[in-house]
Amino acid sequence: MIEAVNTLLLLFMCVTAFTIVRQNNLFAVVMLGSVFSLLSAGMFVMLDAVDVAFTEAAVGAGISTILMLGVLSLTKSRERVTFGTPTLPILLVLISGAVLVYSALGMPEFGSADAPIHQHVADRYIEQSGTEVGLPNIVTSVLASYRGFDTLGEVTVIFTAGIGVMLLLGLRRRTTERGAIEEPPAPGEGHMRHHLVLRVTAKLLIPFILLFALYVQFHGDFGPGGGFQAGVIFAAAFVLYALVFGIKNALTVVPEWVTRFLIAAGVLLYAGVGVASLFMGGNYLDYGVLAHEPTHGQHLGILLIEFGVGTTVAAVMITLFLSFARRARKKT
C-alpha cells in the first residue's frame, strides 16, 4: 500500500514537471510549481522526513509561490512561444541523464539499514541525543545543538537575502516623473476589499494561523516544527492580511521599522546566545553551560536560538513580500 502511494506521488511529480516544460502561460507554470512542491512534501512524509515536509509545504508551496506571483505581476505573464525543440540541450540532458542513471544504480539499495550513510554519525545522534540534549525530536537536537554553527550560517543567508532584495527593489515609495509621491498599486488592492466572503474568512483564519505559528515554534522540540517553519507560517498570516485588506492597513499593523529591526534582532539573538555561552565558560553555542544542569542549558539555548530563527525568518519573509508588492509598476 505504502509502495503504491510512493510510486503514485513520484509519477505525479514527473507529470507535473513535464507539464511545466510544455506550458507557456507563466501563471500556470508558477501554480504547477506550487503543486510540485506540495507533492514533494507528501513524498517527504512517506520517507519519514516530517520536518522537511512541513518546511517544503510552508515554503515551497506557500511563500515561494506568492513571491513568484509578485514577480509576474511586475513583469509578463506569458512566455514567448517557440517552435521545435533545440537539439543541443536535449542531447546534453540525455547524456548527463544516462551518466546519472548509471551511477544511481551503483548506490546502496533504497531503504536498506546497512547503507554507508547510516554507519557513522547518525547512530550517535539517535542513541545519545535523548540523554545529551534531552529532546524527543532528533532533528531539532541536531539542527539547533549539534550543528548550531551550520544553522547560524543559514540564518545569516536568509538575513543577507532579505537585505539583497531590499537593495534591489527598495522599500521606499518611488517618486514619479512629476515629482509627486505615488502609492504604488498593490496586487488586488481596492477590489479585494469588496469581497465580503474573502474578508470574513481571512478575519476568521488569521488568529488561528498566528496561534498555529506559535505552536509550531514552541512545540518544535517535541514534534515536527521549529523556527524556520513557524517564521514562514507567521509571515503567511501577515501576507494574507495584506492581500485582503491592502498594504496600507497591513503596514499600520506591522510598520516597516519593526520588521527591519526584527530581521537583525533574530540573528543577533542567535549569535548572542553563542557569546553568552562563551562568557559562561563554554564553547561558542555550547548551551550546556547556560543553566545549572547541562540538559536544562540545552533546552534554554535551543528555545532561544529557535526563537531567533523564527523572528528573522518571519521578518525577512514579510519584507520580501512587501518589496515585491510595493514596487511601482513600470510605466510603459
Give the residue with the Cβ less far from other proteins, 24 or 201: 24
**Please, what is the minimum distance in Å from the beta carbon of residue 199 to other proteins?**
28
- Spatial distance between the Cα atoms of 103 and 226, rounded to a whole number of angstroms: 35
The residue to which cell 547512530 is assigned? 123
What cell does 229 get? 517553519
Give the residue with the Cβ less far from other proteins, 30 or 305: 30
**Please, what is the minimum distance in Å from the beta carbon of residue 282 to other proteins?**
22
CA distances from 174 to 163, 180, 182 (A): 18, 9, 7
**Please, what is the minimum distance in Å from the beta carbon of residue 69 to other proteins?**
10
CA angle, residues 66, 58, 146, in degrees to nearest 5: 130
Give the residue with the Cβ less far from other proteins, 71 or 214: 71
Asked if residues 301 and 278 have their Cβ atoms less than 8 Å apart, the reply is no
**Please, what is the minimum distance in Å from the beta carbon of residue 302 to other proteins?**
13
- Spatial distance between the Cα atoms of 327 and 267, rounded to a whole number of angstroms: 27
Give the residue with the Cβ less far from other proteins, 69 or 245: 69
Backbone torsions φ then ψ of 78, nearest 5 degrees: -130, 140
At position 134, the amino acid (one-letter code) is: G
Give the residue with the Cβ less far from other proteins, 15 or 200: 15
Give the residue with the Cβ less far from other proteins, 108 or 207: 108
At position 174, the amino acid (one-letter code) is: R
Characterize 110-124 residue by residue with b for buried, 16 or more Cβ atoms within 10 angstroms of its Cβ, and e for exposed. Answer: eeeeeeeeeeeeeee
**Please, what is the minimum distance in Å from the beta carbon of residue 292 to other proteins?**
24
**Please, what is the minimum distance in Å from the beta carbon of residue 104 to other proteins?**
4
- Spatial distance between the Cα atoms of 323 and 162, rounded to a whole number of angstroms: 10
DSSP 329: P
